[in-house]
Structure 1
Amino acid sequence: MAKTLLLDSSKRAEWNRFVSEAADASPYHRFEWMEAIETAYGHKAYPLAVEEEGAILAVLPLILMEHPLNNPLKQKYSLVSLPFCDLGGMLGAEQHQQLLRSAAADLAKKMNAQLLEVRHRQQEGLGYDFDRLSEELGGQKVSMLLELEPGSEKQLAAFKPKLRSQIKKAIKNGCITVAGNTPELVEDFYYVFSRNMHALGSPVHSKALFHAICEAYGDKAVVAVVYFEDKVAAGGIVLSNGHQAAIPWASSLAEYNRLAPNMLLYWELLSHCADAGIRFFDFGRSSFGEGTFRFKKQWGAQPYLLTWENWLGQSESLTGPPGRLRSIIENAWRRLPLGLANALGPLVRKHIRL
């Protein structure tokens, strides 16, 4: 008889085996995502699964996050599937998902959680009629997915001539790319990422989180860094699972934009994935029609609607502070010295679910 239970790291291999074969799984569903967050930030992981005779039939990865500035007499928590990425949610047959949903609600009640946030992505893409979609979707959040060709040569040939010329422009300008999974590449990536987050007025993640993720994922993580005259110009991280890959973070420095290092960065990662047999490349979350959406659209990516649900049915916002308050916070953060922002950022960022 199928039963729901919490797993621990002793079941890591079985969990990942199930996730690697699940059609709707993302790289974030892997056990490594929960492990890395727990290692870097101390947020406890709750890997819920449905088992029958020792075989995993369905999973729901959850992370318990404590709200900042808690009153010690009345602590507040959120259960999230999953924080710091676009999606999580349940994998498995519908009858087993009902078991997971019930178990998650019971766990939230036991933990006195104020929020049980589960992030989904629609299984079907929205198509390429962007004029029609712009009227229907407005600024809604979407994932941008590209179905890759079998191999980098075919993938490059599938791009429009203008896109190919932009990739070649970066190479002609003297940009070079190094890809792998080493602590040194993570350090160089963070050099770009932390500066870009400061320029955006956003608290940066802890460097320890990226080291923990890359160490946990092993050969399923690739860090690519673009250099110009031995200086770091751009960097990104791609995670893979089965036939899917996702790029949760990528950044380039504004002073090198004229050289198009971001085009070379994405091509390096796309070509690596195409040659590795990856079928779908997830460019990540964007607001439909905005700048990052247009950048991802040019590669041929199709939008998939994202839905973030609160299973407790309460009215708390899932999208962060209102626009005006957010603007004030961002402007204040930009005025902090970079070193101070990088020191304070992780203390704040670890509590922000987005």
Structure 2
Amino acid sequence: MAQKTGGNPRSRLHRIGSLFAKHGRTARTEGSNLEVTVVDSIRDIGRAQWNGIVERSSRGSVFHRYEWLEAIETGLGYTPRHLEVTKDGNTIGGLPNFVVEIEKTPFTRLSSLYPGFGGPLLPTDTADALERVIGTAPSLCRGRTIVHQIRGLDSSYLRYNDALQSRGYRPYRRECRFLLDLTKGHDALLADMSRSRRRGIEHGRTVDHEVVEEEITGETLRRFYRTYERVMDRVDGDVYPLSFFEALQAMDDRLLLLTLRIDGEYAGGMLEVLDDERDAIHGFFAAVPREYFDDHASELLYDHVFRWGIDHGYGTYDFGSTNTDFGDGVFRFKEGFGGRAVPVFVWERGCSPLWPLVKAGRALYWPYYT
């Protein structure tokens, strides 16, 4: 691919020409002046320009924003392969991507987006731009990168399903999210909870406790991180490095850090992501030590964030992704709060002869999914 020249210099850019323009049923290509550029750092696009696209797109979310992408790039060290769509030299859309590991294999996938949820942002020239980006993305899969994956935040991404499947993308469903409708009010939320979750909140309130909304600083994040790391090690979960949490300070206006104290002692916390684009709160990171389970520390923290969300005008609480096994303890715990289960909308397109083998192995590991 030729190095992009002319205009404002960018550190590492590649232009995709018309190689993909004539494929597909819906693309309008004659006379098209759209260009797709591979961007190897979100910094090459710029904060204001990229966030403007997010804010103009009806599918934009906090996970699309410049600050979240930069935190993944700098804090996790994942390799960016973003696609920028331009028209007459102006950025009009894009598809953020990172190269991430495929669990339990030596291979990687190109993902839009992980961690979080991504997918195309195409507020204008949608049909042509969509054809360009989904025609281009698989060409970025090389070597150990054997599949392109799109993780849409919600059902609005179903509008792209036919176009994606016509390009060889296949739906993949093995995760769900529980969404809680905060507009019902706190009393209605309590009434819809399972007896065990409701009793947990009631019993927790009898304990000498307080929940503090912390300022996002290096010190408060490090204190939260120490407990988070210990909890994730206990449950054999993937631990994000401290550098990722430190990078998130750049978006401190989109974070809510809660600390729970019981009898004056630190009893855990939660780091919530505020999705103002979707009027939603995402429960991404929680850290409650085992020694406070009997005090119902988790229920106290969740109850506080529900009430905080209602008071601040948010419409939805999102518990984050979980597997779709009703026998799983995390699934049952989240389900008990009365939320609505919705699938995580994922499409995949294999880009290597090795992908069918990895996919077959995945089906053996997760026998209910293909």
Q: TM-score range by the shorter chain?
A: 0.7 to 0.9
Name the amino acid aligned to 1:37: I
Shift >6 Å, 4+ stretches = 66-71, 318-322
Contact persistence 1:27–1:245 (CA under 8 A): no
Contact persistence 2:83–2:97 (CA under 8 A): yes
Q: Distance in 2 between matches of 1:166 and 1:49?
A: 48
Q: Distance in 2 between matches of 1:185 and 1:270?
A: 22
Secondary structure in 2 matching 1:24: coil
User: Cα–Cα, structure 1 residues 320 and 195, in superposed 2: closer, same or farther, change >3 Å?
Assistant: farther
Question: What is the CA deviation profile of residues 314-333 of structure 1, one whole-angstrom value per residue up to 9, with x for unaligned ones?
Answer: 22349979759xxxxxxxxx
- Residue in 2 that maps onto 1:156: 186
1:16 to 48, 51, 54: 51
- Residue in 2 that maps onto 1:291: 329
Verify: 1:99 aligned to 2:135, yes or no. Answer: no
Q: Which has the higher contact order (CA 8 A, sep 6+)?
A: 1
Q: Distance in 1 between matches of 2:103 and 2:200?
A: 44
Deviation at 1:216, TM superposition (A): 2.2
- Residue in 2 that maps onto 1:270: 306
Contact persistence 1:193–1:252 (CA under 8 A): yes
- Residue in 2 that maps onto 1:191: 226
Contact persistence 1:142–1:305 (CA under 8 A): yes
- Residue in 2 that maps onto 1:108: 141
Secondary structure in 1 matching 2:185: helix
User: Cα–Cα, structure 1 residues 68 and 158, in superposed 2: closer, same or farther, change >3 Å?
Assistant: closer
Q: Scaled by the length of structure 2, what TM-score is found? A: 0.70
- Residue in 2 that maps onto 1:311: 349
User: Cα–Cα, structure 1 residues 260 and 81, in superposed 2: closer, same or farther, change >3 Å?
Assistant: same
- Residue in 2 that maps onto 1:347: none
- Residue in 2 that maps onto 1:84: 115
Verify: 1:51 aligned to 2:86, yes or no. Answer: yes
Q: Mean alpha-carbon deviation: is it higher for 296-305 or for 49-58?
A: 49-58
Question: What is the CA deviation profile of residues 174-206 of structure 1, one whole-angstrom value per residue up to 9, with x for unaligned ones?
Answer: 121122322232122212211111111234221
User: Cα–Cα, structure 1 residues 59 and 146, in superposed 2: closer, same or farther, change >3 Å?
Assistant: farther
* Residue correspondence of structure 1 range 1-354 to structure 2 within 5 A: 1-6=33-38, 8-9=42-43, 10-53=45-88, 56-65=91-100, 77-85=108-116, 87-92=117-122, 93-109=126-142, 113-123=145-155, 140-149=174-183, 155-161=185-191, 166-180=200-214, 181-213=216-248, 215-241=249-275, 242=277, 243-288=279-324, 289=326, 290-312=328-350, 314-315=355-356, 316-317=358-359
Q: State the identity %.
A: 23
Q: Distance in 1 between matches of 2:153 and 2:360?
A: 15
Q: Distance in 1 between matches of 2:291 and 2:98?
A: 38
User: Cα–Cα, structure 1 residues 53 and 192, in superposed 2: closer, same or farther, change >3 Å?
Assistant: same
Q: Mean alpha-carbon deviation: is it higher for 48-57 or for 185-194?
A: 48-57
Q: Scaled by the length of structure 1, what TM-score is found? A: 0.73
Q: Distance in 2 between matches of 1:203 and 1:179?
A: 26
Identify unmatched segments of 5+ residues in structure 1: 126-138, 325-354
User: Cα–Cα, structure 1 residues 234 and 155, in superposed 2: closer, same or farther, change >3 Å?
Assistant: farther
Q: Distance in 2 between matches of 1:205 and 1:101?
A: 29
Q: Mean alpha-carbon deviation: is it higher for 20-29 or for 279-288?
A: 20-29
- Residue in 2 that maps onto 1:131: none
Q: What is the CA RMSD across the aligned residues, in angstroms?
A: 3.3
Contact persistence 2:153–2:344 (CA under 8 A): yes
Secondary structure in 1 matching 2:343: strand
Question: What is the CA deviation profile of residues 257-306 of structure 1, one whole-angstrom value per residue up to 9, with x for unaligned ones?
Answer: 11111112112223333333322221111223232222222333211112
User: Cα–Cα, structure 1 residues 21 and 295, in superposed 2: closer, same or farther, change >3 Å?
Assistant: farther
Name the amino acid aligned to 1:206: P
Deviation at 1:219, TM superposition (A): 0.5
Deviation at 1:6, TM superposition (A): 4.0
Q: Distance in 1 between matches of 2:236 and 2:101?
A: 23
Q: Mean alpha-carbon deviation: is it higher for 176-185 or for 19-28?
A: 19-28
- Paired residues in the alignment total 300
Secondary structure in 1 matching 2:141: helix
Q: Distance in 1 between matches of 2:303 and 2:224?
A: 16
Name the amino acid aligned to 2:129: H
